[in-house]
Amino acid sequence: MPELPEVETTRRSIEPILAGRRIVDVTVGRDRVLRRQPVPELFVPRVKGNTVATVGRLGKFLDICLVDGISLVIHLGMSGRIEHQTDPATPLARHTQVVLTTDIGEELRFIDPRTFGFVAALDEDERHLVFGKIGRDAFTDLPSPEELGEAWGRSRSPMKALLLDQRVVAGIGNIYADEILHRARIHPLLRGDQLTPRRGIAIHKAIQDILADGLRWGGTSLDDLAYLLPDGRTGEFTERLAVYGKTDEPCTVCGRPIRQITVRQRSTHFCNRCQRLR
């Protein structure tokens, strides 16, 4: 599932392919992936013929800024990936939703079986509307431990839910939330208002460390269907996961079996010896 490390890996891969290039063609598979512009007739003209200025990211959102002020925003959802094709003759993968063709004939293909992902071509106001609801980037703009305590310290929500809430810190999803809490030795059900300054520092460091690790290894590819790098490789952080999907397997720290519970309708994995509620 694409979270911040996967999206940033994707961003870094497509930046050199897109920056400065003119997008000469845009095709849409299923209209369902379009946001704001519900049909290709409204979406395509905003992108086609336009030139890419910068390739940015906020949380899990790719933010491809075009020279005329339009922003091509892409969210990979849970099963989305971007594929780089130097040979347009290569048949489209199943569930290809959007194809961008650059002025040197290369293609970027957005593939998303479950269509929880989307694309949108936003003007300045619309972009402000979307990004205004999103918090600070967990990798490039992580709030200080004090700021995190300020934002979370009065909430009765469990820490697992607070990590998944994109309005304060953006980019963490279900996999990395579990890994971060394990690294910080914090129980997923610990309430925000139970977060001591000491624990605030621990979780701040764990966010930095886990995301850096995920990024270093090219992200997580849980199965070969889901997330892949644009060149088709799988993310190697998968083999380094400590708790996610490790139910009943021994904790890498203490050897006790990893527990699985449900928090806010999300599967949650933790070690009940290393991560105490008290």
Partner DNA sequence: AACGATCCCTGTTGGC
Partner DNA sequence: TGCCAACAGGGATCGT
State the catalytic residues. Answer: 2-3, 60, 266
Query: How far, in Å, CA of 200 to CA of 145, rounded?
Result: 5
**Among positions 20, 31, 32, 93, the unique one binding DNA when judged by CB under 7 A:** 32
Q: What does residue 255 show for φ and ψ, rounded to 5 degrees?
A: 90, -10
Site string for DNA, 60-79 (x = CB under 7 A): xx-------------x-xxx
Query: Is there binding between residue 5 and DNA (CB under 7 A)?
Result: no
**Among positions 65, 116, 185, 236, the unique one binding DNA when judged by CB under 7 A:** 116
Nearest to 62 by CA among 114, 113, 112: 112
Nearest to 275 by CA among 185, 171, 156, 179: 185
Query: Is there binding between residue 256 and DNA (CB under 7 A)?
Result: no
Of 199 and 269, the one with the shorter C-beta distance to DNA is 269
Q: Give the number of residues in contact with DNA, rule: CB under 7 A.
A: 36
Are β-strands 169-170 and 136-137 bridged in parallel, bridged antiparallel, or unpaired?
parallel
The DSSP symbol for 166 reads T
Q: How far is the CB of 28 from DNA (least distance, A)?
A: 15
Chain centroid, CA 133 distance in Å? 16
Query: Is there binding between residue 100 and DNA (CB under 7 A)?
Result: no
Query: How far, in Å, CA of 233 to CA of 227, rounded?
Result: 9
CB 67 within 8 A of CB 80: no
**Among positions 143, 173, 200, 230, the unique one binding DNA when judged by CB under 7 A:** 173
Q: Which residues bind DNA (CB under 7 A)?
A: 1, 3, 32, 59-61, 75, 77-79, 94-95, 113-116, 130, 133, 155-158, 161, 164, 166, 173-175, 192, 223-225, 264-267
